Amino acid sequence: YEEDHYNCYTYTLMFINCVLMAEGREQLDKSEFTEKYVVPRTRLASKYITLYRAIQEHGFYVTDRPQQEAQAPEGSGLC
């Protein structure tokens, strides 16, 4: 392990490129790897963190919905 040259990021990129090469596909450079794999998951994590902080700040929490009846009463507004 070397902080700047051999770390989890470079290991993961190397592993993915080995799989791509074995499949006969083009390898990814660092920029493509980041855009395809890192950024989407970072955005998703950011959404969950934002939701968590809002829930923590406002005191709300999420629970499972009770089972709905087979047919909602007319005008109930349930979809």
Structure confidence by residue, pLDDT tens digits, 18-35? 999 999 999 999 999 999
Q: What are 6-15's pLDDT values in tens digits?
A: 899 999 999 9
∠ CA 32-37-43, nearest 5°, is 115
> Shortest CA distance to 37 belongs to which of 20, 65, 13?
13
pLDDT of residue 78: 46
pLDDT of residue 70: 55
Determine phi and psi for 6, rounding to 5 degrees: -140, 95
Tokens found for residue 77? 């507004």
pLDDT over 90 for what percent of the chain?
52
Kindly state the average pLDDT of the residues 53-58. Answer: 89
13: Cβ contacts below 8 Å, ≥ 6 apart:
28, 30, 33
